[in-house]
Amino acid sequence: MSFLYEKVIAKALYTLDPETAHQVGLRGMGVLGACAPLRLLMERSLTPKGCRPIEAFGLKFPNHIGLAAGFDKDGIGWRGAAALGFGHVEVGTVTPLGQPGNPKPRMFRLPAQEALINRLGFNNEGLASFVAASYCALALMFCVHLLMIAGSGLNPLRYAQKIFPVLAFAFTSRSSAGAIPMSVQTQTLRLGTPEGIANFAASFGATIGQNGCAGIYPAMLAVMIAPTVGVDPFTIGFIAPLLAIITIGSVGVAGVGGGATFAALIVLSSMNLPVALAGLLISIEPLIDMGRTAINVSGSITAGTVTSRALGETDMAVFAADAELESDTERQSV
């Protein structure tokens, strides 16, 4: 393995400027980390021989050689780095807002000393990347909702058009509970769901099984924080209890702004993960909470719609019509 690195990989990287070579190596670690068979092969062939495990700060490390913070600032190659034989891998730095770092050039090779001068600074994508990842996950969950609607025999595009007003209200209000009246109106007046089913789905959906606040968000936090305590979040031993805890813990989470934080605390403490790290996301919490709330409401409406269809009680004439929602004032005037 050392022969391959010295004769091929190192020579190829030396043809690039230091920072480009650094990025290529980092991306390569990301690919290595994503390929389980290759990662396992590297772990077995590169594990240092004769190194004894050590304990420090309440943690047990396979050996005393670690990769310090600053190499992988955005945490994209940590799994690959761990496969290279390091006893521990520290990732970061991540700041609330993305930063470009110091002016280039900022990395310099010292071939004679086999060393490198690093003056990168705090260049990183910031927590905005977590916001983007959160919205990608929420978008996927919304697609799952639409697939369920399509599976029930309804037009998913028409369905999405009809529920858009209540989702927009949930997005701006950040309150699943506050969206209950509008959710019930949407289901009964625009989707043809009986009032009993609509009331049940909207009220229970605001406190039980919230897809965004009690499901996706705590899961993402757990997966993000687990590596900081030496836990691989992509093993069945981690994922299975995480799913069970999220399912049970989602019962009774308040459908109000900030409810996701309490759901995250339940999951992190139950998984024996440090809850203090969740505080790092407080600054961007409102940005994510808007999307989470919209998905919560979408989930409750989907549940009511699918249930109504399964029971054969959906009024298809209402679903096919273009009725608009009426405010309380409008209904009283009538």
| Identity of residue 127 | L
- pLDDT, tens only, 159-211: 999 999 999 999 999 888 889 999 999 999 999 999 999 999 998 888 787 88
- pLDDT, tens only, 254-282: 666 667 888 888 899 999 998 877 777 77
pLDDT, position 333:
47
- pLDDT, tens only, 21-76: 999 988 888 888 888 888 888 888 877 777 788 888 888 888 888 888 888 888 88
Angstrom distance (rounded) from CA 80 to CA 100:
25
Angstrom distance (rounded) from CA 186 to CA 55:
58
pLDDT, position 254:
65
- State how beta strands 66-67 and 88-89 pair: parallel
Nearest to 98 by CA among 122, 81, 64: 122
Residue partners of 64: CB distance under 8 A and separation at least 6: 51, 54, 87
Mean residue pLDDT across the chain:
86
Residue with token string 């025999």: 153
Write down the pTM of the prediction. Answer: 0.73
